[in-house]
Chains A and B, each alone.
Chain A
Amino acid sequence: ILNVEQSPQSLHVQEGDSTNFTCSFPSSNFYALHWYRWETAKSPEALFVMTLNGDEKKKGRISATLNTKEGYSYLYIKGSQPEDSATYLCAFPNTGGFKTIFGAGTRLFVKA
């Protein structure tokens, strides 16, 4: 069974802090990696779809990098704001995208 691990489980930061968290996935048979943002009482929404080793994606203050050879991706948030408080999920679709394994998520709390 494939394992997708995220660390840390939760993170408390102050407004203005920059932060990052990790997603680890199997490095063999890489197909794609997704990052989702999941706010409380809402549904997960895609942030990034990453497919190539060395990919770097950016959306506003949030960016992500991908290393498929060693099996990890980092998500960075620059200058965290209270509205960034959410659970950030990474997801690893198998080849062909038939099944997607989700990590348990990193729960971010940003205090004003």
Chain B
Amino acid sequence: DADVTQTPRNRITKTGKRIMLECSQTKGHDRMYWYRQDPGLGLRLIYYSFDVKDINKGEISDGYSVSRQAQAKFSLSLESAIPNQTALYFCATSERTGENEQFFGPGTRLTVL
């Protein structure tokens, strides 16, 4: 079984709809992250969380919100989806020590029409 899972894997939605992307991990890591990837650009950080009570904005948090329901679960919400949020979204986890590598989920391909 995968250590980091994301649901759904693909989603097509319409402008203005609310959508939630979910991430679960079995690695026991404290740190969790949400990234988006657009063609020609690197992964860009949306939000990150160091534990259930610690949530922080990344470089492109506008239009997104998150919830850390438990150590193992970190959800990303688009309150009112817009077409330029069409992208590939990745959840990732890492151990407490910063220099450790991140472990990525399989990604969610989101299309906003």
**Residues of chain A whose beta carbon lies under 8 Å from any beta carbon of chain B:** 1, 4, 31-32, 34, 36, 42-46, 49, 51, 89, 91, 93, 95-105
Contacts and interface: CB of A to CB of B under 8 A. Distances in A.
A43 B90 contact: yes
Contacts of A44: 43, 90, 102, 104
Contacts of B44: 102
A45 B2 CA distance: 13
Nearest to A35: B101
Given A89-B43, A104-B42, A98 B48 contact: yes
B97 A97 contact: yes
B101 to A, nearest CB: 3
Contacts of B98: 31-32, 93, 95-98
Contacts of B4: 43
Interface residues of B, number: 27
Do most interface residues of chain B lie in helix, strand or loop, or is the interface mixed?
Answer: loop
A43 B42 contact: no
A96 B65 CA distance: 23
Contacts of B99: 31-32, 49, 51, 93, 97
A111 to B, nearest CB: 23
B100 interface: yes
A101 to B, nearest CB: 7
Contact of A97 (B35, B43, B94, B106): B94
B45 A99 contact: yes
B72 to A, nearest CB: 18
Given A98-B56, A99-B58, A99-B59, A46 B45 contact: no
